[in-house]
Amino acid sequence: MFNQGLSLDQAPPISVPFRFFITAPLFGIALGLLFFFFPTDLLINRYSSVAIGGIHLFTLGILSMIIFGAMQQMMPVLAGAIIKKPVLFANVVHTSLTLGTLFFSASFIFEIKALLHVGASLLAIAFLTFFAVLAYLIFKVKFLTSTVNAMKLFTLAGIITSVLGLYLAYSHISNDIGSLHYNFVYLHILFGLFGFATILIMGVSFQVIPMFYVALDFPKFIQNKIPLFVLTVLIVFGMFLFLQLDTYVLKVLFSVFFVLFCVHGLNSLNKRRRPVFDVTLWYWKLSLTFLLLSMLNWLFVPQDSYFLLAIMFGLGFLYSLLQGMIYKIIPFLAWFHLNSKGHMIIPTMREMINEDMIKLHFFIYTASVFFFMISPFLSNFFVIIAALLFIISNILFLMNCVMAANKYAQIAKTNPLDAFTQG
Ligand code: HEM
């Protein structure tokens, strides 16, 4: 495994992934606040422009932000691929993604078209820079693992998602919403959520679940074939849409792939070889269960508004998993960097972030997802409660990450040799 040979000069400075992780909950807070300033009916109607803006606070500000940050850390660790100028690269990608998301979302939320020009241009810089460098590095990797292969597919899916997104943005800028517009939107959504997000999550899980939780490996068939099948069916889905063929059979295929992944993931986590308690497992289990439920919902429940499905997939599956992953990555990185700098007295990985705070965050976050989910059946009032809890959970997430960063910075400032003089 590459991580065993990872040295400090190969890993990016800790500030590189941290800045992405700390920015994501800020976008979460912004998303929650939207519910206090705009009518709920508008926000849950996916065709409204406020909803498009809100959705991208999530897909760009949270999802892409965490994925971009984590990838810069994981490329050397999981793929042995090293970004040459990590700080410059992070500066360009982080700044353009943050500002691009703000301008893009604001242009839809406040219906100011001029902002869309700026937003789309900045997003083009963020995505094209990120994927150009990633493609260059990942397609050169010689030692091919299932994770590296999934990262390649993720790169292709990410490029297709962003090109489709930029094309859609251009259609809005030029007021040219043609008859095929919603085919492109549908493809953009599927490539984004299934290709860009889920394929990467699968690929990373193949290594991270056994590594972090001393758990069983995924079966070889799942590791080697499922990500490839997902990308293939995405491409076939595009053809079906434009040929106006019924896509139900393809939805069944996606669901089978994801259900297989979830069942094996949950099985691996439940049959860990070293079953010590770890609060981040709650996030993983919640997330995989929600992926299962979302697929069943997508297949069997006729969709009126897609709101329930969006909550289950976006918050239940994606955001839960990313939070669980960050709570594992941050302590690991802090420990790794301090250890590599020669510090002897380092808090253990479990002491880096207070476990009770992570639990509190988990409960509030889960309650928020629950209230969002019951709101379509009961009343919009529950959306407001859910949004409030969502804001609080993001504040807690931010605090936990910042506290770990501070703990790291304080120890990093000290001289490692002090440990000897004190003793
Ligand atoms: C360069 C980056 C991106 C740009 C410029 C972009 C642009 C757009 C635009 C203009 C729309 C509106 C389509 C319409 O209804 O007319 C849209 C919809 C959508 N995009 Fe993106 N997008 C980007 C990245 C992403 C990513 C990475 C994801 C997910 C991982 C995503 C998920 C979605 C979803 C779910 C919708 C549907 C919104 C709705 O139905 O209300 N986008 N995108």
Please give the model's pTM, rounded to 2 decimal places. 0.93
CB of 323 closer than 8 Å to CB of 281? no
- Three-state SS letters, 182-222: HHHHHHHHHHHHHHHHHHHHHHHHHHHHHHHHCCCCCCHHH
Measured CA to CA, the distance from residue 415 to residue 303 in angstroms comes to 59
CB of 11 closer than 8 Å to CB of 339? no
Measured CA to CA, the distance from residue 188 to residue 180 in angstroms comes to 13
Does any ligand 1 atom lie closer than 6 A to the CB of residue 63?
Answer: yes
The pLDDT tens digits for 7-63 are: 556 778 888 999 999 999 999 999 999 999 999 888 888 889 999 999 999 999 999
Does any ligand 1 atom lie closer than 6 A to the CB of residue 168?
Answer: yes
Whole-angstrom CA distances from 342 to 221, 349, 410, 411 are 42, 16, 15, 11
- Atom number in ligand 1 closest to CA 104: 5
Does any ligand 1 atom lie closer than 6 A to the CB of residue 28?
Answer: no
Measured CA to CA, the distance from residue 23 to residue 31 in angstroms comes to 13
Q: Please tell me the distance between residue 263's alpha carbon and the centre of ligand 1 in angstroms.
A: 29
Most ligand 1 atoms within 8 A of CB, residue of 27, 31, 42, 52 to mutate: 52
Whether residue 304 is predicted with pLDDT greater than 80 in this model: the reply is no
Burial class (CB in 10 A: 0-12, 13-18, 19+), 180: exposed
Q: Say which amino acid occupies 97.
A: L
Residue with the two structure tokens 């059946």: 377
Q: Please tell me the distance between residue 309's alpha carbon and the centre of ligand 1 in angstroms.
A: 16
Q: Which protein residue has the closest C-alpha to ligand 1 atom 6?
A: 165
Element at 379 (helix H, strand E): none
Whether residue 3 is predicted with pLDDT greater than 60 in this model: the reply is no
Q: Please tell me the distance between residue 330's alpha carbon and the centre of ligand 1 in angstroms.
A: 29
Whether residue 323 is predicted with pLDDT greater than 60 in this model: the reply is yes
Whether residue 263 is predicted with pLDDT greater than 90 in this model: the reply is yes
Does any ligand 1 atom lie closer than 6 A to the CB of residue 185?
Answer: yes
Does any ligand 1 atom lie closer than 6 A to the CB of residue 169?
Answer: yes
Largest Cα–Cα separation, the chain: 75
Measured CA to CA, the distance from residue 57 to residue 49 in angstroms comes to 13
